[in-house]
């Protein structure tokens, strides 16, 4: 039986990856320190005979006993609320964390896939974004801690690939949504759906003409899995190219809610990208991958999940105190 280590195991993406690899017959090791991950996301696999959990910070030395065939590095704060609160930890997981992961992969002769992001493109001057675009990033702006952590992570991964011959894969993940997202993580889909469930108006930043494209979690996991088992070492965009403005998306949500909500406008955050849409030509050509789940279906499934949350989770606007991690 082949084995895989997934860091960030209790996060949104990490927990769905665990489900995928267990379903495919792998021995799965999950690692998380719960700085932003949720133990409830992996509670359903806690007693699975082929799943083992390791509570650990990947910025500390890591080791797995025995053979290890694959590593997927998904440990990182990913939402603006998180990485603005814990900027140093965000930078550390993209530098010290990737160094530890790559060192383990080298020792085990394991193939490693790292989770990069569309944020490496910054506020793009090229549209849609192709993998050969170098980006328009402000390294000292508030979002720079996340953008540059991921850019460094890519550079470190390719250095190990070239110097040590390590088998590496890099996925650039565009906006992804679905069950197990944190309702208060600051991203637009949980923000809008949370406001609907609480009977609030929908908040749109700026004039709402900035665009996003949303990929449902099942499609994203399928793309990541296919990339891992491809022969391609350079970055690949995985996302849904069906682009929509935030204002039009808000109108869709209002209509879904029976026109019970209003739309209100607030100031645009600093360095908020005005366009975000992947060119997925490479994923189509190399992986035979395209997203299958449309926005209407995906939003409905996500909304049904959020309806199951407790009142405490629904009305929670602040999460855990990160002060112990800011060192």
**Nearest in space to 165 (alpha carbons), one of 219, 90, 109, 97:** 109
Could you tell me the sign of the dihedral formed by the alpha carbons of 301, 303, 11, 98, in that order?
positive
- Assess contact for 230 and 286: CB atoms under 8 A: yes
Phi, psi angles (nearest 5°) of residue 188: -65, -40
CB count within 10 Å of CB 26 equals 19
**Cα 102-12-210 angle, rounded to 5 deg:** 100
Tell me the three-class secondary structure of 253-322, residue by residue.
HHHHCCCCCCEEEECCCCCCCCCCCECCHHHHHHHCCCCCCCHHHHHHHHHHHHHCCCHHHHHCCCCCCC
Look-up of token digits 């470190």: 156
Joined together, the tokens standing for residue 22 give 């267990």
Q: Which of 70, 83, 121, 146 is catalytic?
A: 146
CB count within 10 Å of CB 224 equals 25
Residue 146 falls in the annotated catalytic set? yes
- Residues taking part in catalysis: 146
């Amino acid at each position: 039986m082949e084995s895989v280590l997934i860091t960030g195991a209790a996060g949104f993406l990490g927990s769905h990856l665990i489900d995928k690899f267990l379903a495919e017959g792998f021995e799965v090791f999950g690692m998380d320190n719960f700085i932003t991950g949720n133990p409830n996301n992996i509670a359903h696999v806690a007693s699975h005979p082929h799943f083992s959990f390791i509570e650990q910070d990947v910025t500390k030395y890591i080791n797995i006993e025995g053979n290890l065939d694959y590593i997927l590095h998904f440990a990182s704060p990913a939402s603006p609320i998180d990485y603005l609160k814990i900027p140093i930890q965000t930078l550390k997981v993209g530098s010290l964390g990737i160094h530890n992961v790559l060192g383990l992969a080298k020792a085990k002769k394991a193939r490693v896939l790292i989770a990069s992001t569309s944020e490496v493109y910054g506020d793009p001057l090229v549209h849609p974004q192709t993998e050969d675009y170098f980006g328009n990033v402000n390294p000292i702006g508030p979002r720079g801690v996340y953008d540059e952590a991921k850019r460094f992570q890519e550079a470190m991964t390719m250095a190990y690939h070239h110097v040590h011959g390590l088998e590496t894969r890099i996925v650039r993940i565009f906006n992804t949504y679905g069950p197990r997202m944190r309702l208060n993580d600051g991203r637009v889909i949980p923000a809008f759906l949370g406001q609907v469930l609480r009977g609030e108006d929908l908040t749109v930043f700026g004039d709402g003409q900035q665009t996003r494209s949303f990929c449902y979690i099942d499609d994203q996991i399928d793309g990541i899995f296919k990339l891992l088992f491809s022969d391609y070492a350079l970055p690949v965009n995985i996302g849904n190219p069906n682009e929509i403005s935030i204002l039009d998306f808000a109108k869709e949500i209002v209509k879904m809610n029976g026109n019970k909500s209003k739309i209100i406008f607030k100031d645009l955050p600093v360095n908020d990208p005005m366009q975000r849409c992947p060119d997925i030509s490479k994923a189509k050509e190399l992986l035979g991958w395209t997203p299958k789940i449309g926005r209407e279906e995906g939003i409905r499934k996500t909304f049904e999940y959020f309806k199951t949350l407790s009142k405490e989770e629904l009305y929670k606007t602040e999460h855990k105190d990160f002060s112990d991690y800011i060192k």
